[in-house]
Amino acid sequence: MELRDIEIFLTLAEELHFGRAAQRLYVSQARVSQAIKQQERRVGGALFDRNSRSVRLTPLGQQLRDDLRPVYDSLHESIDRARLAARGTSQTLRIGMIPTLTQELRPLWDEFRSRQPRCALTIRYVSFLAPFSQLRAGEIDALIAWLPVEEPDLTVGPVIHTESRVLCVAASHPLADHGPVSLEILGNDHVVATGRGHIPEYWEDAYTPFATPSGRPVAHRLPVANFDEITMLVSTEQVVHPIGRHAMRYFARPDITYLPITDAPAIRWAVIWRQDNYHPNLQLLAEIVRERGPLDKA
């Protein structure tokens, strides 16, 4: 499999939309479709379930994505290190991101690169399952994660972004025409998605609360393994799910509606790093974030 074909596959696995994947890669949708069909013939099975309404990874596609992602990232880091060595430096700052905030945070990355042109800045996606494992393993230098973070070996840096929350429901759901909602609605026997994996308990309650503001229990919770599973369950009316407002921009779908939540606290995203990591450019990144202040997306 050619490197470009791997990049096409991994991009489509993130976007789950042929048009958005093509835009990110600066190629035609036909080129993306052709590359995926060639890969499926090569491996002997379907990598994506797709129809006129949605694109989803098959179990085979998920396995291939999980196997290819670290190899692809490592290859690019090796190329970056070689390029920097040719320019007389070997510095690289590796940032992991849980949220899809690439456009919102672009000015921050541009400012960092302008101040430290001899340091390669690499940015990669990190799943909300086992969110700190790559940080602790030294595979990334810093992580953009939602607060709170209460880990004794990790340093919580400045807040980089804040945003309001919305409720993700199926376009066919009775709530879809409701307009703004209260968290109290989660106590009306609605099922919410909850993470299946090594997710901190304090995240569970902060992100998908166990009780409404008045104390009514949110009793029905369905474990999920990834965000693809959340959108599938939401679109088929099996769950509703509170999420950050950025999902309206990056995960717009005809079968999903986002409703503003009127009484949910804002989500705050911050820069997190290991206490024993003395990377020379981490403090510069934190300084830039403090100077700019958090981007507020109401």
Q: Where are the domains of the chain?
A: 3-63, 91-162+268-297, 165-265
Per-residue pLDDT, 61: 92
Instruction: State the pairing for strand pair 142-146/154-163.
Output: unpaired
Mean pLDDT over each residue of the chain, to the nearest integer:
86
SS3 56: strand
**Higher pLDDT residue, 296 or 180?**
180
R_g of the chain computed on alpha carbons: 20
Per-residue pLDDT, 297: 53
Per-residue pLDDT, 157: 92
Is residue 51 over pLDDT 70? Answer: yes
CB 42 within 8 A of CB 60: no
Least confident of 21-30, 124-133, 135-144, 199-208: 199-208
**DSSP states of 209-237:** -SB-TTS-B--EEEEESSHHHHHHHHHTT
pTM of the model: 0.66
Q: What's the whole-number mean pLDDT along residues 43-52? A: 90
Least confident of 56-65, 89-98, 159-168, 247-256: 89-98
At residue 211 the predicted structure's pLDDT band, cuts being 50, 70 and 90, is confident
Per-residue pLDDT, 272: 94
What is the CATH topology of the domain spanning 3-63? Arc Repressor Mutant, subunit A (1.10.10)
Least confident of 140-149, 214-223, 234-243: 214-223
At residue 295 the predicted structure's pLDDT band, cuts being 50, 70 and 90, is low
Topology match between the domains 3-63 and 91-162+268-297: no
Q: What are phi and psi of 240, to 5 degrees?
A: -115, 155
The angle subtended at Cα 10 by Cα 61 and Cα 37, nearest 5°, is 60
Strand ranges of the sheet holding 120-125, from the earlier edge strand across to the other edge? 120-125, 92-97, 142-146, 267-274, 154-163, 295-297
What is the C-alpha to C-alpha distance for residues 297 and 266, in angstroms, rounded to an integer?
9
**Higher pLDDT residue, 280 or 80?**
280
What is the CATH topology of the domain spanning 91-162+268-297? D-Maltodextrin-Binding Protein; domain 2 (3.40.190)
Q: What's the whole-number mean pLDDT along residues 189-202? A: 76
Q: List, for residues 123-167, the tens digit of each pLDDT value.
A: 988 887 778 888 998 889 999 999 999 898 999 999 999 999 999
Q: What's the whole-number mean pLDDT along residues 204-225? A: 80
Residue % of the chain over a pLDDT of 90: 38
Is residue 298 over pLDDT 60? Answer: no
The angle subtended at Cα 140 by Cα 134 and Cα 146, nearest 5°, is 70
What is the CATH topology of the domain spanning 165-265? D-Maltodextrin-Binding Protein; domain 2 (3.40.190)
